[in-house]
């Protein structure tokens, strides 16, 4: 199942952005693999005990980061960076820029920009015969007033560069859409969702009915080396608040095969060769429909669920792919564990006091 980790010892990985302290387990794992860690981040922070070298730069400024990385390499000739990676949605585009500039293995910028921008991803799907809902950029209220007649409610309004379902809202009619659009325009900012640093554009798409899944994928040399499907419980609408997940999927085998085929087709048409991918989709009565693709390892409980169910370590394999180390994964014929998780959220907002 595993290639072993001795080949990683004393190699150096560049991690772009630490993320929040929730990502501590990633840095702990990187050090357990025997890696030297160079971290490009806006500041030195909680990850200090797991980082060997810091490159401090504004990660929302790609030019500044490229210059800072060049300077680090010039000033530290003894440090050979073997690959670059990010586990943070905010810096998918920056990481792809670094991969292009320094000839690392990973996802090129021209692919990343088509995927990171959710509107451009829908356009890409349309142009390449991949199922996609009707969609439209919304720049003013006039765009809502002149909504094409072939758009059917309910609709979903969302930021082009969003993450974590922030400002993703289901609307049921035109008045609801107007009020929701005005609410988002008034409140949207990087202060509430840092991933929006790439842009604050808003778009609209038809609501997709169906069973939502995540497909966690390891790609190398254009081949899908591993995939794992997990079921997402029905979210709490209209804000699409996550309620839980189960792995492995309990969907009929033929539906799972359709979903994997759709993911393979989408990634192949994108030209994506190498990376750990979190592919979100729905299985609908009319077939699978991609929702979005995260060009990084999935967040929250994805790592622990996949490792618990299949014994596959997504962090380890993300590094191996970034280093160009050939990976061969023998997925167990049966799950090692069946895992169900439930999200518990309060129905009311407030402050807990002792």
- Residue 179 in any domain: the answer is yes
- pLDDT the model gives residue 133: 97
Q: Which of 187, 206, 225 is the last residue of a domain?
A: 206
187 belongs to a structural domain: yes
Measuring CA to CA, how many Å separate 28 from each of 1, 25, 48, 87, 275? 22, 5, 11, 14, 21
pLDDT for the residue numbered 191: 73
Q: Which residues of the chain form beta strands (DSSP E)? A: 12-16, 36-41, 53-56, 83-85, 135-138, 155-159, 169-171, 202-206, 211-220, 223-232, 244-247, 275-284, 287-294, 339-342
Instruction: State pLDDT tens for residues 57-109.
Output: 999 999 999 999 999 999 999 999 999 999 999 999 999 999 999 999 999 99
pTM: 0.94
Percentage of the chain surpassing pLDDT 90?
Answer: 85
Assess whether 280 and 220 both reside in one domain.
yes
Check whether residue 216 and residue 322 sit in a common domain. Answer: yes
Q: Cα–Cα distance between 141 and 76 in angstroms, integer?
A: 53
More confident: 80 or 346: 80
Range of the domain at 62: 6-104
- CATH, residue 231: 3.30.470.20
Q: What is the mean pLDDT of residues 216-226?
A: 99
Domain boundary, last residue among 157, 184, 206: 206
**Residue at 63 is within a domain:** yes
CATH code for the domain of 155: 3.30.1490.20
**Which stretch of DSSP H or E encloses residue 258?**
helix 253-270
For residue 3, the model assigns a pLDDT of 56
Distance of alpha carbon 101 from the chain centroid: 22
Whether residues 224 and 335 share a domain: the answer is yes
Q: What is the mean pLDDT of the chain?
A: 95
CATH number at residue 72: 3.40.50.720
Q: What b/e sequence results for 261-288 when a residue is b if at least 16 CB atoms lie within 10 Å of its CB, and e otherwise? A: ebbbbbbeebebbbbbbbbbbbbeeeeb
* Number of folded domains that form the chain: 3
Q: Are residues 97 and 146 in the same domain?
A: no
Residue 174 has pLDDT above 90, yes or no: yes
- Is there a single domain that holds both residue 184 and residue 284? no
Q: Are residues 228 and 260 in the same domain?
A: yes
Least confident of 103-107, 159-163, 276-280, 319-323: 159-163
Say if 33 falls within a structural domain. yes
Confidence of residue 1 (pLDDT cuts 50, 70, 90): very low
Question: Looking at the domain assignment, is residue 127 inside a domain?
Answer: no
């Amino acid at each position: 199942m595993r290639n072993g980790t001795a080949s990683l010892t004393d190699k150096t990985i560049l991690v772009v952005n630490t993320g929040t302290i929730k990502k501590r387990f990633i840095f702990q794992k990187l050090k357990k693999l025997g890696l030297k860690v160079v971290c490009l981040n806006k500041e030195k922070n909680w990850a200090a005990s797991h980082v060997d070298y810091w490159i401090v730069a504004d990660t929302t400024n790609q030019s500044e980061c490229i210059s800072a990385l060049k300077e680090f390499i010039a000033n530290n000739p003894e440090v050979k960076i073997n690959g670059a990676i990010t586990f943070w949605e905010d810096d998918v585009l920056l990481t792809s820029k670094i991969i292009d500039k320094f000839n690392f293995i990973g996802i090129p910028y021209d692919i990343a920009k088509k995927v990171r921008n959710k509107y451009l991803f829908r356009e890409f799907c349309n142009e390449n015969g991949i199922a996609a809902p009707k969609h439209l950029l919304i720049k003013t209220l006039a765009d809502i007033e002149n909504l094409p007649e072939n758009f059917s409610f309910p609709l979903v309004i969302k930021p082009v560069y969003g993450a974590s379902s922030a400002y993703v809202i289901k609307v049921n009619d035109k008045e609801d859409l107007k009020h929701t659009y005005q609410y988002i325009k008034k409140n949207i900012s990087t202060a509430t969702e840092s991933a929006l640093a790439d842009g604050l554009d808003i778009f609209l798409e038809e609501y997709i009915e169906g069973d939502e899944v995540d497909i966690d994928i390891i790609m190398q040399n254009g081949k899908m080396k591993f995939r794992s499907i997990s079921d997402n419980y029905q979210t709490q609408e209209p804000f699409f608040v996550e309620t839980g997940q189960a792995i492995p999927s309990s969907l009929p085998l033929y539906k799972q095969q359709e979903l994997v085929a759709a993911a393979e087709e989408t990634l192949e048409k994108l030209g994506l060769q190498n990376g750990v991918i979190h592919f979100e989709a729905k299985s609908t009565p009319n077939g699978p429909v991609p929702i979005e693709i995260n060009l990084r390892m999935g967040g929250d409980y994805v790592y622990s669920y996949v490792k618990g169910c299949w014994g596959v370590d997504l962090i380890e394999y993300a590094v191996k792919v970034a280093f160009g180390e050939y990976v061969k994964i023998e997925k167990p014929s049966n799950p090692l564990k069946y895992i169900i998780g439930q999200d518990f959220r309060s129905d009311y907002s407030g402050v807990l006091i002792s």
